[in-house]
Structure 1
Amino acid sequence: MKKLSIIFCICTLLLSNLLAGCGSKEPAPAADHKLRVVVTFNAMKEFTQAVGQDKIHITSLIPDGTEPHDFQPTTKTMQALSKADILIYNSTGMERWVEQATQAAANPKLVIVEAAKGTDRISLTEADEIRAHGQYDPHTWLSLSCAQQEVKNIAEALAAADKANADFYRKNAEKYNQKLQSLLAAYQKKFSKLEQKDFVTGHAAFAYLCRDFGLQQQSIED
């Protein structure tokens, strides 16, 4: 009986720690009135965090190391969407599951923001790519020029949802975009000096980056 009591106590402690750990992964409570912002993957998280900083709670739906193209929404995805104020995703070609997932989450107050809206998109020409992504190449965030438009869109969405901090979001977006513009100018100068403009990649995801810098990608995927 003594051994059983010890085992029971150990199991109870382990279960308590496990539940506490699970609880820590849930979006933070809104008692502090910060916006609950859900983003799809890490690039959207970086942009949104740069703009929102400590004024928002941010949750990423797609875990680091997970291929965004292959992601399938889970129960945890639905829970996060049901509690969020804002969802920020890149584009319909990248996260084709967004519309269905938001409908299933049934959150009438959720504001849905397409970060790539207004960017200068590159049309796809291959049939397989069009079937997979739609009319346009979805990898807009990999361009330092398109990324600046995405940051502006995110800032305006946060400003509209949290008017008291609107100037804060817009100023942060301006500072971040200045950094992106500096990188763009610096590497345009560097790449302009190269004689060889081609590079090899697995997935042909870098058309926007190539346009920024006058490069040419050669994909080894069929």
Structure 2
Amino acid sequence: MRTKLVVFLFLAALICGLICGCISPEERSREQGQEPDGQIQIIVSILPQKEFVEQIGGRKVAVTVMIPPGASPATYEPSPGQLQGVSRAKLYVQIGHIPFENEWMENIESANRGMKVVDSSEGIEIIGNDPHTWLSPALARTQVEHISDALIEIDPGNSEYYARNTEDYLKDLSDLNEDIRNNLSEIKNRKFMVYHPAWGYFARDYQLEQVPIEIEGKEPSASDLVRLADTARANNITTVFTSPQFNSESAEVIADEIGGTVVFIDPLAKDYTANMRAVSAAFARYLT
């Protein structure tokens, strides 16, 4: 009888150990909002934010982007796998005011009630319903400061590290602002035509004026295209800008009508500072 009891207890302990062993140290780390190497898991909505977080968090963060390259924040829906991944994050950084967040943040937050959520656009004055605040380097500074504050709050032991990185990156953004201003200083024709009106804050900062093809998310009608071509000719516009997230057909129709060129500029590129310099170089080249 005693032998049977010993065997039973041994088997019970073995089974218990196997069950507990099914949860690996890596999985335990992820459940606590950390990668196995100790990195904090952070989720952002759009690609430009990845640079913001990585420049502040450095080697201490692992960043996941919800909206993949080429997808539109107006129409993208997260996959079940992405929502499951939210359950392991320690911080979600909203860009603020984009349709994706308006539609999905309630579901995202319900997937992880312990996750801190910060709206990086807090305190920024929104023009109309335009959510494209990150395309202003001056406003990007505000977003970076919000991210820095959130990282320091959830990981106070590394506050000095985050503060140093933030100071360095804010200087990079100041340099970016100055470079763009210099790039655009000699432009005489300061009106530009663009398919999706993402560049309102950028245009405001650098004394430009965007002429949008798409209005309130709607494709232009045939009469709109005629009117836009007339506007382009009247303002000596020879380039029509568009973005890889949208169908370029309307831009091509107008460009053909005015004998002009279609040029792609990306408001959602991953490498924020490099992309903004490339955009300003495109404006400097094609706005004559």
TM-score of the superposition, structure 2-length normalised? 0.60
State the Cα distance separating 1:203 from its structure 2 match: 0.2
Q: Is the 8 A contact 2:43 2:65 kept in 1?
A: yes
Give ranges in structure 1 of 5+ residues lacking alignment.
1-26, 125-135
Which whole-Å CA distance do the structure 1 matches of 2:154 and 2:34 have between them? 17
Partner residue of 1:34 out of 19, 39, 43 = 39
Q: Is the 8 A contact 1:139 1:205 kept in 2?
A: yes
Q: Secondary structure at the match of 1:187?
A: helix
Instruction: Name the residue aligned to 1:141.
Output: 134
Flag the 1:93–1:60 CA change in 2: closer, same or farther, 3 A. closer
Q: Is the 8 A contact 2:34 2:40 kept in 1?
A: no
Instruction: Name the residue aligned to 1:62.
Output: 67
Which whole-Å CA distance do the structure 1 matches of 2:109 and 2:172 have between them? 37
Partner residue of 2:120 out of 109, 115, 121 = 115
Larger radius of gyration: 2
Q: Letter of the aligned partner of 1:97 in structure 2?
A: E
State the Cα distance separating 1:42 from its structure 2 match: 0.4
Which whole-Å CA distance do the structure 1 matches of 2:160 and 2:123 have between them? 22
Partner residue of 1:208 out of 188, 201, 218 = 201
How many pairs does the alignment contain?
A: 183
Give ranges in structure 2 of 5+ residues lacking alignment.
1-29, 216-288
2:122 counterpart of 1:158 = no
Q: Letter of the aligned partner of 1:203 in structure 2?
A: H
Q: Deviations over 1:90-122 (max 9, x none)?
A: 0033421342222441x2210001111122322
Instruction: Name the residue aligned to 2:165.
Output: 172
Q: Secondary structure at the match of 1:174?
A: helix
Which whole-Å CA distance do the structure 2 matches of 1:104 and 1:77 have between them? 13
Q: Letter of the aligned partner of 1:186 in structure 2?
A: D
Flag the 1:73–1:47 CA change in 2: closer, same or farther, 3 A. same
